[in-house]
Amino acid sequence: MSFIDDDSYLSQDISEADPAVARLLGAELDRQSDTLEMIASENFTSQAVLQAVGSVLTNKYAEGLPGKRYYGGCEVVDEVEQLAIDRALELFGADHVNVQPHSGSTANEAAYAATLAPGDRVLAMALSHGGHLSHGLKVNFSGKLYEFHHYGVRRSDQYIDMDQVREMARELRPALIVAGASAYPRIIDFPAFREIADEVGARFMVDMAHIAGLVAAGVHPTPVGIADIVTTTIHKTLGGPRAGMVMCNADLAAKVDKAVFPGLQGGPLMHVIAGKAVAFGQALTPEFRARQQAVVDNCAALADELMEGGLDLVSGGTDNHLVLVDLSATPLTGQEGEDRLDRAGITVNKNGVPFDERPPTVTSGLRIGTAALTTRGLREPEMREIAQVIVAALRPEATEADLEALRARSRAVGDRFPLYPRLHAGTAV
Ligand SMILES: *Cc1c(COP(=O)(O)O)cnc(C)c1O
């Protein structure tokens, strides 16, 4: 009998060990390939990142920080985490970073824990105007632990109302002011927030989850060096594995590290941290910077063509990777719009628009982003064609047959840009 037993529990390929899950992995690869992915918070990570995340590092416990662990055998993962840290600092230029948060929400939880006591007052953007649920939604940990108040955008032009931010800050004297959004198509004026925070003696935090890739590439102004603390996801425009991180000024470093571990988390996901190191390495290249510029250029072309087709956009356009289509003036709801685009082969999400009169389960808007398709290789001509498909699909008179024909058109656009051609068809690994 040989010591090498390919049929052993440890060596079995997923297609033999678990055909049901293997089939679903293949089905999801097909779905991602066969549709046009325009959810603004999504992206395609590189095969190199997929390999890191699917590696033996998932086996390792490494509570603590590089050189200061609570477990033996950490000499290799110490190097992995140090690489991720060094590259993150090179990419964004912060004093300090903790690369262990499992997600963007956890990164925010750590940032609040490092800067606030329970019950402290915080001023952040309203979810209904583009904010995030981890910025004080009542049913979220943030809204339960801290006293959040919310600013929004102006009715007139749908840009963030900095006068309202200043007034609310003066009145409420918050301990922390938060900037950052999940559905805001314009550049955020970080220096203006900083000035207000200084005036009222608040700390200033930026959650750049959506725009981190643009910031890394210099396509959106950076909050690093302006805010006291900056949180982000790694998987949105930044294009890395699904996870988060916290950057901060030197004076908050120890507090941030303690907030992450032992404050919130146990063992870090070392395989995901390896994926972060790979993604940061890729983000330091000129190719990445050019691609982020293309994300913004693509979005401008998409916006232009959507408006040309008669659709209203929140704030009348975009400066970043996303647009918000406002369907209030049409007979369609956001939910109906999402369903129609789904049938036309384009994946987006319904999204409230500022001052939306419909409930969050229905909404009057669609959030559409260009990060994923730009990573896949699509450029302005394709964006214009996709915008025409979107306009046609959202026409009130569009029939089921029309949507079917539009689906074929979407598929033809996508087929010109093969997704992960080296992955095994059928199992996606
Ligand atoms: C996506 C997002 C998050 C949360 O990220 P998760 O990884 O889903 O927890 C936090 N803040 C903002 C602004 C986001 O857009």
Average pLDDT for the chain = 96
Nearest CA to ligand 1 atom 4: 104
| Region of poorest pLDDT, from 3-12, 345-354, 401-410 | 3-12
Residue 90 a catalytic site member: no
Q: How far apart are CA 122 and CA 146, in angstroms?
A: 7
pLDDT at 4 over 80: no
Rounded Cα–Cα distance for residues 361 and 146 (Å): 26
Superfamily the domain 294-415 falls into:
Aspartate Aminotransferase, domain 1 (3.90.1150.10)
154 is a catalytic site residue:
no
Q: Determine whether 233 is an active site residue.
A: yes
Could you report the per-residue pLDDT of 314-369, keeping only the tens digit for each? Answer: 999 999 999 999 999 999 999 999 999 999 999 999 999 999 999 999 999 999 99
Q: Residue 296: name the closest of 396, 380, 417, 416 by CA.
A: 380
Please spell the DSSP secondary structure of 29-57, one letter per residue.
Answer: HHHHHHSEE--TT-----HHHHHHHTSGG
Q: DSSP E strands: which ranges in 267-411? A: 312-313, 322-326, 346-347, 349-350, 365-369
Asked if 177 and 151 count as a contact pair (C-beta separation under 8 A), the reply is: no
130 lines ligand 1 (CB under 6 A): no
Token pair recorded at residue 303: 């916006």
Encoded tokens for 214: 């643009």
Residue nearest to atom 15 of ligand 1 (CA): 182
Contact predicate 375/417, CB 8 Å: no
Quote the ligand 1 centre to 347 CA distance (angstroms): 19
Give the tens place of pLDDT for each residue, 39-55.
Answer: 999 999 999 999 999 99
The rounded Å distance from CA 398 to ligand 1 centre is 34
Distance CA 44, CA 296 (A): 16
Closest alpha carbon to 370 in 319, 309, 314, 315: 319
- What is the model's pLDDT at position 427? 61
What digits encode the pLDDT tens for the residues 130-174? 999 999 999 999 999 999 999 999 999 999 999 999 999 999 999
What are the residues facing 247 on neighbouring strands? Answer: 97, 230
Residue 138 bears catalytic tag: no
Parse the chain into domains and list their residue ranges.
53-283, 294-415
Residue nearest to atom 1 of ligand 1 (CA): 209
Architecture of domain 53-283: 3-Layer(aba) Sandwich (3.40)
Mutation to probe ligand 1, out of 112, 134, 188, 242 (largest number of atoms < 8 A from CB)? 134
pLDDT computed for residue 1 by the predictor: 47
* Distance of alpha carbon 236 from alpha carbon 271, whole angstroms: 18
Question: Which residue's CA is minimally distant from atom 3 of ligand 1?
Answer: 104
Residue 71 designated active-site: no
Strand 176-179 with 229-233, pairing:
unpaired
- Asked whether the predicted pLDDT for residue 428 surpasses 70, the reply is no
CA dist., res. 348 & res. 342, Å (int): 8
Please work out whether the CB of residue 349 comes within 6 Å of at least one atom of ligand 1.
no
Least-confidence region, from 12-16, 86-90, 214-218, 249-253: 12-16
CB 215 within 8 A of CB 223: yes
